[in-house]
């Protein structure tokens, strides 16, 4: 069954396949910009600057003629470095202060005499053996300005949150194609502009704008491809949008390995997807959006183009399609006297009774935990020891098979029966990592890859599961609110990673606790595999109480003729984002 789904995905109509792969190609740039800061904002070794030329440097028993030669033996930043200037002065250099020895008769590491301590008024000296330049070294984001460096990733994620909301709404008003054009061009323009910012504040502002357009593209591109891809292949197609995001993470690792100057590194990352920017204007608007705007002639033109590409001799007529949909709508209303379908719903409807409220809390927790775990494993990968570039590459590569496993497992075992074990497994892996000795770098990296794999399965699955757990009248609201919790998790994740300075395993402990709690609460959720989508809150509540399929009312289904014709370009969308 799983392999038949793969075949369905590979046998997409020619037109839809071209549109799909062209659209998701640009999703790589989202993965690139989301994780670019792991190398761009790294803090190299540094010490306080000195007011003069150095004649000799001493660190314990290591004596060198320049500070550049002392970085390798200086492994503990808690210890100071002793330098002697050409004028005979001897200074002790720490990271955030410097001390001048009052008596400088001979150069020795240990000194018990009087010292005068000063702030780092002459700036800082950085180790450039690994990174020639980072934003930290360029703008001295260390010591009392260290908090500015730690805000780089959270402010980017805040832009992700705001951009998803803004561009999701604009896409509904102005169309998917226009937003795809703007956000694609915006990613390139703002990506290049980041490299030429003149200070920290302009850097953060431009990165914030870059985050907004990157997030906006990812949201709208997902809607765009789901409106084109046929119903049978939609699960696989939507899941593998995330796979291209993972490829972007792998590109970050590769470019980071090859380019060690942050602004050149940023330029190379930004031009990685330039081909799409040059050709994205060729993408058509989705017939689904054109029909919703009553632009029937434009919709018919797109459908005719699709028919020619797909070698369909008799393309469907918009007039026939609208007539079938109207008949379904009328019959649905006649068969259901419940007026709740016309009622305006809000976030409080997700807490209308105890069963739905418990379901909502659990789903929100899973969204938050999935995003938190995803970014904690990704951002922490460069601090695991060994080759940080290889670590990040593997953390991205492990996502590729995890989405295939998720698609097969959710169809074979069910949504809940897949989600529970992988959430609990990710919690157990977080605990296991704490007991691995720090000298076993390879084992630590493999365990982190396993943790990213398991949380990735859960993270990818929750999108579809949420849509199936809620009735039609609040389905978009449920998925949208869950997506907001996902973005909150992505904002919190960088701060969680910074907790490594308190205890190296504290981020993993928090992710493990959240994953375990989410896995336990998921047991109380109903299984949705093979069950019809519910239409009312009463039906959704009954689905949670009974083991079998709901015996209550079911939503009116499209007729076979309408379904067959609509499959050519899709008819349902879910607005989600990484």
CA distances (Å), origin 336, targets 176, 476, 489: 33, 21, 39
**Residue 393 near residue 448 (C-beta atoms within 8 A):** no
pLDDT at 247 over 50: yes
Tell me the Cα Rg of the chain.
Answer: 28
Q: What is the mean pLDDT of the chain?
A: 81
pLDDT band at 557 (very low <50, low <70, confident <90, very high): very low
Task: Measure the CA–CA gap between 240 and 488, rounded to whole angstroms.
Answer: 23
pLDDT digits (tens, 9 = 90+) for 419-477: 999 999 999 999 999 999 888 888 999 999 999 999 988 888 887 788 788 887 777 67
pLDDT digits (tens, 9 = 90+) for 63-98: 777 787 788 777 766 688 888 888 888 888 888 889
**Residue 215 near residue 577 (C-beta atoms within 8 A):** yes
Task: Measure the CA–CA gap between 125 and 229, rounded to whole angstroms.
Answer: 55
Q: Tokens in use for 267?
A: 């330029």
pLDDT at 502 over 70: yes
pLDDT band at 493 (very low <50, low <70, confident <90, very high): very high
As a residue count, the chain comes to: 578
**Residue 259 near residue 268 (C-beta atoms within 8 A):** yes
**Residue 287 near residue 569 (C-beta atoms within 8 A):** yes
Q: In 379-521, which ranges are E strands?
A: none
In this structure, is the dihedral angle defined by the CA atoms of residues 212, 218, 223 and 224, taken in order, positive or negative?
Answer: positive
- Is residue 113 packed enough to be buried (19+ CB in 10 Å), middle (13-18) or exposed (0-12)? exposed
Task: Measure the CA–CA gap between 455 and 447, rounded to whole angstroms.
Answer: 12
Could you give all domains of the chain from N- to C-terminal order, each with its CATH number? 15-44+136-283 (1.20.1250.20), 46-129 (no CATH), 350-541 (1.20.1250.20)
Q: Tokens in use for 419?
A: 């989600």
Tell whether pTM > 0.85: no
Task: State the Cα torsion 434-435-440-446 to the nearest 10°.
Answer: -60
Sheet holding 98-101, edge to edge: 62-64, 54-59, 81-85, 90-93, 98-101, 115-118
Which residues, 6+ apart, have CB-to-CB distance to 311 below 8 Å? 14
Local structure of residue 132 (DSSP, 8 states) = S
The predicted pLDDT at position 522 comes to: 93
pLDDT, average across residues 506-521: 94
The predicted pLDDT at position 325 comes to: 52
Q: Which is more confidently placed, 236 or 23? A: 23
Which residues, 6+ apart, have CB-to-CB distance to 401 below 8 Å? 453
Local structure of residue 323 (DSSP, 8 states) = H
The kind and range of the H/E element at 58 are strand 54-59
pLDDT at 550 over 50: no
CB atoms < 10 A from the CB of 10, how many?
A: 10
| Residue position matching structure tokens 């209550």 | 552
């Amino acid at each position: 069954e799983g392999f038949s789904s793969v075949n369905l995905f590979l046998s997409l109509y020619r037109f839809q396949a071209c549109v799909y792969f062209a659209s998701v190609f640009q999703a790589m740039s989202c993965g690139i910009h989301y994780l670019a800061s792991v190398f761009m904002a790294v803090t190299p070794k540094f010490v306080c600057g000195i007011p003069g030329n150095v004649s000799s440097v001493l660190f314990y028993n290591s004596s060198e003629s320049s500070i550049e030669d002392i970085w390798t033996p200086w492994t503990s930043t808690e210890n100071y470095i002793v330098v002697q200037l050409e004028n005979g002065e001897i200074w002790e250099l720490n990271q955030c202060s410097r001390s001048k020895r009052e008596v400088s008769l001979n150069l020795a590491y240990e000194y018990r005499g009087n010292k005068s301590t000063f702030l780092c008024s002459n700036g800082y000296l950085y180790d450039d053996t690994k990174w020639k330049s980072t934003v930290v070294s360029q703008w001295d984001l260390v010591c009392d300005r260290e908090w500015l460096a730690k805000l780089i990733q959270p402010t980017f994620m805040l832009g992700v949150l705001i951009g998803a909301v803004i561009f999701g709404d604009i896409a509904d008003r102005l169309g998917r194609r226009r937003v795809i054009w703007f956000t694609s061009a915006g990613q390139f323009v703002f990506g290049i502009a980041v490299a030429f910012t003149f200070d920290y504040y302009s850097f953060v502002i431009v990165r914030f704008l870059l985050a907004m357009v990157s997030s906006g593209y990812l949201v709208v591109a997902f809607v765009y491809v789901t409106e084109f891809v046929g119903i049978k292949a939609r699960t696989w197609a939507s899941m593998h949008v995330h796979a291209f995001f993972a490829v972007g993470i792998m590109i970050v690792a590769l470019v980071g390995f090859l380019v060690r100057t942050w602004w050149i590194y940023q330029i190379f990352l930004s031009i990685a997807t330039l081909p799409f920017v040059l050709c994205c204007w060729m993408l058509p608007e989705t017939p689904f959006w054109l029909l919703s705007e009553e632009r029937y002639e434009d919709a018919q033109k797109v459908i005719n183009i699709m028919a020619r590409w797909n070698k369909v001799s008799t393309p469907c007529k918009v007039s026939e399609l609208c007539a079938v949909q109207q008949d379904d709508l009328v019959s649905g209303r006649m068969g259901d006297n419940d007026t709740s379908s016309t009622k305006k719903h809000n976030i409080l409807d997700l807490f209308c009774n105890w069963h739905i409220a418990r379901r909502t809390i659990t789903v929100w927790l899973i969204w938050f935990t999935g995003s938190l775990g995803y970014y904690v494993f990704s951002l922490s990968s460069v601090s695991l020891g060994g080759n940080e570039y290889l670590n990040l590459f593997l953390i991205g590569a492990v996502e590729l098979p995890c989405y295939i496993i998720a698609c097969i497992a959710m169809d074979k075992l069910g949504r809940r029966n897949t989600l529970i074990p992988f959430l609990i497994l990710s919690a157990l892996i977080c605990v296991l990592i704490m007991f691995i000795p720090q000298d076993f770098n390879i084992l630590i990296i493999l365990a982190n890859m396993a943790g990213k794999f398991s949380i990735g399965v859960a993270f990818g699955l929750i999108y579809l599961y949420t849509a199936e757990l809620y009735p039609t009248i609040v389905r978009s609201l449920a998925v949208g609110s869950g997506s907001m919790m996902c973005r909150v998790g992505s904002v919190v994740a960088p701060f969680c990673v910074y907790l490594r300075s308190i205890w190296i395993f504290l981020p993993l402990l928090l992710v493990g606790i959240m994953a375990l709690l989410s896995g336990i609460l998921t047991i109380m959720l109903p299984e949705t595999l093979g069950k019809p989508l519910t239409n009312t809150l009463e039906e959704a509540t009954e689905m949670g109480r009974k083991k079998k399929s709901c015996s209550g009312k079911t939503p009116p289904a499209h007729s076979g003729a309408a379904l067959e014709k609509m499959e050519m370009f899709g008819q349902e969308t879910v607005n989600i984002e990484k």
